[in-house]
């Protein structure tokens, strides 16, 4: 069985205390999920390599950079130098094969992401080449949006492709993952769970929120 992993998205954390936010989840987190938005690929502008470098200095948890940028080829090297362990590029940005090769050359993990309206067929050529497929369950750009259940068949389709080809590729879901929706996502085949507001704005401690999510998801995958 593939390992369940939790990837807290610091987009929903207090930006005045990002180091504390990272430290508050590091016992349970498999990844720190850093949403890199350039104000062009998506309207929001978030953080750059300097922030990633500062976070990498305060934690040993691997950092995954979710690159929601128009020109990942201009930026990936900076994020690797900053300490990213894995970079995930959007298939909609293009030059995907080149980006995968660049990431491998630079010695990091690599993922390919697809937005809700992008069909599974767009990422199939890259399935054998990546560590993770990130399936957006909201439109990229903002935290705190509502999970889109219409994406579930796509998660199932990609999961079946991965199983049929016996590939060692994780399926990561990103957007609107919380206590209720995690069940649907894991049932469909996801094993890496990105969660922002469900962890950092849940009204309980981040640790308690993660334990909650893992418990619900874990019971499901064991059952």
Considering the complex, what minimum distance in angstroms separates the CB of residue 58 from ligand DX5? 20
Which residue, 38 or 174, has its beta carbon nearer to Zn ion?
A: 174
Positions in 153-182 near ligand DX5 (CB under 6 A):
174-177
Contact string 14-43 vs ligand DX5 (x = CB under 6 A)? -------------------x-x--------
Which residue, 33 or 86, has its beta carbon nearer to ligand DX5?
A: 33
d(CA 62, CA 220): 26
d(CA 20, CA 147): 27
Which residues of the chain form contacts with Zn ion (CB under 5 A)?
35, 66, 174
Considering the complex, what minimum distance in angstroms separates the CB of residue 66 from Zn ion? 4
d(CA 210, CA 179): 10
65 near ligand DX5, rule: CB under 6 A: no
**Residue 192, H or E segment:** strand 192-195
Torsion of CA 71, 103, 189, 195, to 10 degrees: -60
Which residue, 39 or 104, has its beta carbon nearer to ligand DX5?
A: 39
d(CA 20, CA 23): 5
For helices 206-222 and 18-25, the axis angle rounded to 10 degrees is 40
* Contact (CB, 8 A) for 126 and 96: yes
Task: Report the candidate in 213, 216, 185 with the shortest Cα–Cα distance to residue 199.
Answer: 213
Positions in 121-150 near ligand DX5 (CB under 6 A):
138, 140-141, 143-145
Considering the complex, what minimum distance in angstroms separates the CB of residue 196 from Zn ion? 8
Q: Which residues are catalytic?
A: 35, 174
Q: Give me the residues that bind ligand DX5 (CB under 6 A), please.
A: 9, 11-12, 33, 35, 66, 138, 140-141, 143-145, 174-177, 194-198
């Amino acid at each position: 069985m593939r390992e369940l992993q939790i990837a807290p998205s610091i987009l929903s954390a207090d930006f005045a205390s990002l180091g504390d936010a990272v430290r508050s989840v590091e016992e349970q987190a498999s990844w720190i999920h850093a949403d890199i938005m350039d104000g062009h690929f998506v309207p929001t502008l978030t953080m750059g390599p300097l922030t990633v470098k500062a976070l990498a200095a305060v934690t040993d948890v691997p950092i995954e950079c979710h690159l929601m940028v128009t020109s990942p080829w201009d930026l990936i090297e900076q994020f690797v130098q900053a300490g990213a362990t894995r970079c995930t590029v959007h298939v909609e940005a293009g030059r995907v094969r080149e980006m995968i090769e660049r990431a491998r050359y630079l010695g990091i993990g690599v993922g390919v992401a697809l937005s809700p309206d992008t069909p599974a067929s767009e990422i199939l050529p890259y399935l054998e080449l990546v560590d993770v497929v990130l399936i957006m369950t909201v439109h990229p750009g903002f935290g705190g949006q509502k999970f889109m259940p219409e994406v579930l068949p796509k998660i199932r389709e990609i999961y079946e492709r991965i199983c049929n080809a016996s590939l060692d590729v994780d399926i990561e879901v990103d957007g609107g993952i919380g206590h209720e929706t995690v069940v649907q996502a894991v049932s469909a085949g996801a094993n890496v769970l990105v969660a922002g507001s469900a962890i950092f704005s849940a009204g309980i401690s981040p640790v308690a929120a993660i334990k909650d999510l893992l418990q619900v998801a874990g019971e499901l995958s064991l059952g």
